[in-house]
A = this chain, B = another copy of it.
């Protein structure tokens, strides 16, 4: 296992004093969980990919599931932090157009998302099967929604957004973006040439959402 760019992103500061072996295990697990799924990945495989003895995994994580939860919680926590700090500024700006809002929302995190594909693939793949992950994810979503709603309401007051229930609007935005990501990165990446997914493609999607929420 060579350098995994996720690790540096996923664990910063205090956690960086993790053992090398522990890092190798996490990196190997992420790769394997992403490509085969949690249930179809054996701890032996993880150990081999991590170039580590099988027992070592269990010195660092009490169980295979613990390893999975450590990874998924790390992803959620990190994303949470990013959203809170970085998107705060997006929300706090009072946008003059919905277009600008959606674009900053999408483009801001675009590179982050596609470079951490494996991470989100794991999350979205395993959420349906593990209640613990699912509830952590739901909490994360629930935590972000209020600021989101405030922003929508502000734009509704300016007449920039349709007079729909703000909660419905937020969910409309989120499910649309999730559908976009899931289709491209999890379900059928072959159907969309991912490499072409450049600014143009995102631009189109932003305009689609914008129009969908603008009073005609």
Contact = CB atoms under 8 A, between A and B. Distances in A.
Interface residues of A, number: 46
Looking at chain A's contact residues, is the secondary structure mostly helix, strand, loop, or mixed?
A: helix
A214 interface: yes
Count of identical protomers in the assembly: 4
A37 to B, nearest CB: 5
The 5 closest A-B pairs by CB, nearest first: A179-B179, A212-B212, A39-B39, A39-B40, A208-B212
28 contacts: A36-B129, A37-B129, A39-B39, A40-B129, A128-B187, A134-B188, A138-B188, A138-B190, A141-B188, A141-B191, A162-B211, A171-B183, A171-B191, A171-B192, A172-B208, A174-B183, A175-B176, A175-B179, A175-B184, A176-B176, A176-B179, A177-B179, A178-B183, A179-B179, A211-B212, A211-B213, A211-B214, A216-B216
